Amino acid sequence: MLRLSQLTIDLAVLALAFALAFLIRFDWRPPTDMVGRLALTVPYVVIGEYLVLWAFGVPRFSWRYIGLREVWRLLAAVVVATVLLVWSRVGFGAFQADVPYLRHGVIPLGVIAANFILMFLGISGVRVLRRILGEHVESQRRGRGIEPASRVRTMLVGAGQGGVMMAKEIANRPDLALEPVGFIDDDPAKAGLVVHGISVLGPTEALPELCERQGAQQVLITMASAPGDTVRRISRLAEEAGVPVKIIPGLFEIADGRVELSRIRPVAIDDLLRREPVELDIEAIAADLKDRVVLVTGAGGSIGSEICRQVASFGPARLLLVERAENSLFHIHRELRSRPGVLEIVPLIADVTDRQRMRAIFETHAPSAVFHAAAHKHVPMMEWNAGEALKNNVFGTKVVADLAHELGADGFVMISTDKAVNPTSVMGATKRVAEMYVQALASRSDTRFVTVRFGNVLGSAGSVIPIFQEQIQRGGPVTVTHPEMQRYFMTIPEACQLVLQAGSMGRGGEIFILDMGAPVKIVDLARDLIRLSGFVPEDDIEIVFSGVRPGEKLFEELSVDAENAERTRHAKIFVGRR
């Protein structure tokens, strides 16, 4: 029924446009012979024009969601229809002397020109009108029950693509209860412009003054790819203005489908350390993983579970989740099973130090790609439990690597740490021994053995961020070991993306080192977290220095001089060999 009504409207618009073109051409008083010519040709013109629209797929366009792409295609169809009218006019004109009846098909060029404009405006206009009405109805529905006074006056920072998308979202989503009071952007060319109905008021340095002038109740950062330094600076300016600051999700979160643009949230510590999005060689990674059997050890951990998520997106034939902690395995297995698509996921409770159990897994499933993320990682804890660190980090790695070599896996990627460089801790020393064993095995194996080494990841279980957050929730104090303590940080998704990329690049024996950016002082991290929680460092929440713990270093290193680390074809991955 809907298609029939749309067909009727289109035919009516085409007929009306053609008739109006005659009236306009002859100043609303067409001669009698032209009226007859109109009556005779209108059925053929309308049917011909509609057939051209159909050939270009115009009737299949959704009226409710028409956009610029569809309008351009519609314009192309109208141009073709007009060219055909001109061609028929020339053809009929050439033969009308021999066949007088053909003169009725000679349409004046002025009529054809006017019809071109009216046809385009009419066909596009009814669709745009439908979209406007649909959005208005949807906006009214979403905004029902929300009083204008309850809307939060919001200053938008960033009038780029993300800002425009957010402005449209706010306009279409009254249920967000946001009232934009202006854009702030550092691009001088945008100053004074109006973007989607919102004025660009000035640069970010004027944020406190502009917030006060406009009565802003909050600041919203609308730059999905803003670097961490920019987010940090804007957060400080918002703090000066005395208004809370929020942010739209980052590009990775949106692209991965985890969140929507409208999922506005408070600024998190990840945002203050945000880096350039990772560019991946998708084809190279897919060649390693697609339709392969992939095994991930430590699949329930912070790194292992994220590797599983990302591997799953490349369509392996089977994904083997090896984990000794039952609850962790349950959660990642349930999460992956809920994803759309057909993917065989096999949860395997196993300890990597159990050679018999691991052999049974390898012989049963024959994995072609192995990601070894299982490890003990807490430095002080391993100082107290050195034997367990040795058993798990060294001998567990040896078991898995030996089986990969013996049973013919194509590739083996070991996850290592910056603490393995010139180690001063039991944990670091065991990881370094594991690195050396994997490198030695690579020299006599057909399996491609590589190691990927990186620093701390944000938000992993038991890491410094969750500990600080727990201490802040208790009212402090926040404990930092030393004022000069520095660490490299990277988000878990970014680290795992680069692990997959490095794994696809390896030929055997390499130690890949991820570019972690600049090191961050732990005390600065603590102060940022306190501010993000709505408190003032030292005034509301005290910071206490507890002293360096056994095995810790003030500064971590990512490589040693003897490794001669060099850049690879990927800007964020270095390679070292000994």
Catalytic choice (419, 431, 553, 572): 419
Show the CA angle centred on residue 577, arms to residues 571 and 578, nearest 5°: 155
In the residue annotation, 246 being an active-site residue is answered as no
Q: What are phi and psi of 306, to 5 degrees?
A: -70, -35
Residue (of 296, 306, 295, 298) closest to 335 by Cα position: 306
∠80-85-86 over CA atoms, to 5°? 95
Nearest to 440 by CA among 288, 577, 571: 577
What stretches of 242-390 show up as alpha helix (H) in DSSP?
Answer: 251-255, 269-272, 282-289, 302-312, 326-337, 355-365, 379-384, 386-389
* Among the listed residues 309, 455, 323, 492, the one whose alpha carbon sits nearest the alpha carbon of residue 396: 323
Contact 216, 237 (CB under 8 A): no
Task: Give the closest residue to 398 by CA, choosing from 456, 449, 350.
Answer: 449
The dihedral region occupied by 476, where left means phi > 0, alpha psi between -120 and 50, and beta the remainder, is: left
Is the distance from CB of 509 to CB of 577 less than 8 angstroms? yes
Q: Which amino acid is at 341?
A: G
Cβ atoms of 129 and 64 closer than 8 Å: no
Q: Which residues are catalytic?
A: 419
